[in-house]
């Protein structure tokens, strides 16, 4: 089968699952991917400037423009909907044999119950599309971006610390960098201003006395908020050793998916994290349902605690399907849950659960050619 034939096969699998075909906007304001995902994605964005100087980007995937259109539709009232597509996406190549443009065939569901069954069904559907294209998965890498936050919450840390750790988990340097950052004392004049009856007036007086102008968009109130957060972190005395050990141990988890529920539960038990039970229960239920629908995944699927943390708008179950003859950075299929995306795109005016997955026919052509 050539590329177009694979597109047709995969498309038929997704359309059989129900859903409205969609081919949304090719061009997005660069603000949408950048405000949502940060500068890290810029390196892969095909960017240009329009006639008024506004920065625009070719769609880097289909999830973003489909979700953007869905957010607009939801303004009229909530209702669940499924979309399918076979459409071009555009990315600056990360490797010499990466194409600038390629077709993604996929499916996105919005507004349905976000439960283990829905995760497993979406995964099984994408897996079926890969197999229908004559490619047998060599390995499936999975992750769950809700597990780390659940562990953090269970550690019962001061809010400043837990917020910081949750954000750090998604960044390149990661949690270790945050854990290693020593707490530093604050300027005594500034500390005194925090305890004044009117902290803004007092801090304003410190600025005047030192002849420091207030430039930029952050207000005095925001600077005071930052100072209070730092003081709270100093008073909390950093991260307790047990919490530190729990997080570093979680970070290291890398095992067959079939062992993952037991491994994670054992970790939670060791560190006394009973309030992570709900998240771990949902995780175990999902694993069981995945094996029920895709028995072969018992052999091929792995779980890595850190997997998917840089997939910017995903916030739950995530997976990639790898095949022979391609690098681990070139999955033939991928997908996951992004329950916060619609809220992020609409400035929190509307919200809806979201989950989706895609296959890459261009890569499957290469796998088939190498005879795997």
In the complex, which residues of this chain contact another protein (CB under 8 A)?
A: 34-35, 38-40, 42-43, 163-164, 167-168, 170-174, 177-178, 181, 184, 186-187, 190, 203, 206-207, 210, 212-218, 222-223, 225-227, 229-230, 347
Cα distances from 357 to residues 146, 228, 366, in angstroms, run 18, 42, 20
Closest CB 147 distance from another protein, rounded Å: 20
In sequence order, the β-bridge partners of residue 318 are 143, 336
Cα separation, 353 vs 341, in Å, equals 8
Residues composing the chain: 372
Q: Cα–Cα distances in Å, from 173 out to 90, 169, 180, 289? A: 27, 8, 11, 34
Judged by CB, which is closer to another protein: 20, or 219? 219
> What element of type H or E holds 34?
helix 31-37
Judged by beta carbon, residue 226 or residue 281, the one nearer another protein is 226
| DSSP code of residue 298 | H
C-beta of 148: minimal distance to another protein in Å? 15
Task: Identify which of residues 8 and 343 has a Cβ nearer to another protein in the complex.
Answer: 343
Closer Cβ to another protein, 107 or 202, answer by number: 202
The least distance separating another protein from the CB of residue 209, rounded to whole angstroms, comes to 12
How far apart are CB 39 and another protein at their closest, in Å?
Answer: 6
Give the nearest distance from C-beta 188 to another protein in angstroms.
11
- Give the nearer residue to another protein in terms of CB position, either 171 or 263: 171
Least separation in angstroms between residue 348's CB and another protein is 9
Strand partners, 281: none
Distances (CA, A) of 365 to 57, 122, 125, 142, 269: 27, 23, 20, 24, 46
Q: Which is nearer to another protein, 175 or 365 (CB)?
A: 175
- Taking alpha carbons only, the member of 14, 152, 150, 142 closest to residue 83 is 14
Distances (CA, A) of 181 to 86, 190, 191, 274: 46, 22, 21, 28
């Amino acid at each position: 089968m050539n590329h177009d034939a694979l597109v047709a096969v995969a498309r038929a699998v997704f359309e059989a699952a129900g859903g409205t075909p969609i081919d949304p906007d090719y061009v997005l304001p660069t603000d949408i991917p950048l405000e949502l995902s940060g500068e890290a994605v810029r390196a892969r964005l095909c960017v240009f400037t329009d006639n008024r100087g506004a920065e625009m980007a070719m769609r880097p995937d289909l999830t973003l423009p489909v979700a953007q259109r869905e957010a607009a539709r939801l303004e009229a009232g909530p209702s669940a909907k499924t979309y399918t597509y076979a459409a071009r996406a555009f990315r600056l190549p990360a490797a010499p044999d990466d194409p600038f443009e390629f077709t993604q065939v996929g499916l996105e569901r919005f507004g349905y119950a976000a439960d283990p069954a829905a995760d497993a069904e979406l995964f099984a559907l994408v897996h079926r599309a890969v197999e229908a294209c004559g490619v047998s998965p060599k390995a499936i890498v999975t992750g769950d971006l809700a597990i780390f936050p659940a562990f953090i919450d269970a550690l019962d840390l001061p809010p400043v610390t837990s917020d910081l750790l949750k954000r750090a988990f998604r960044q390149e340097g990661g949690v270790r960098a945050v854990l290693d950052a020593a707490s530093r004392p604050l300027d005594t004049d500034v500390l005194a201003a925090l305890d004044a009856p009117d902290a803004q007036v007092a801090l304003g007086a410190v600025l005047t006395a030192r002849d420091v102008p207030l430039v930029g968009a952050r207000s005095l109130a925001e600077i005071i908020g930052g100072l209070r957060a730092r003081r709270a972190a100093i008073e909390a005395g950093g991260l307790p050793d047990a919490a530190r050990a729990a997080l570093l141990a979680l970070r290291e988890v890398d095992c067959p998916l079939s062992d993952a529920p037991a491994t994670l539960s054992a970790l939670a038990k060791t560190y006394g994290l009973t309030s992570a039970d709900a998240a771990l229960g949902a995780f175990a239920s999902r694993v069981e349902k995945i094996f029920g629908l895709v028995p072969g995944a018992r052999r091929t699927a792995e779980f890595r605690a850190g997997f998917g943390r840089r997939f910017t708008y995903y916030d739950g179950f995530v997976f990639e399907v790898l095949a022979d003859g391609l690098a681990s950075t070139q999955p033939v299929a991928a997908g996951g849950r992004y329950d916060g995306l619609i809220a992020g795109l609409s400035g929190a005016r509307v919200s809806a659960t979201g989950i989706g997955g895609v296959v890459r026919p261009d890569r499957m052509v290469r796998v088939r050619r190498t005879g795997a």
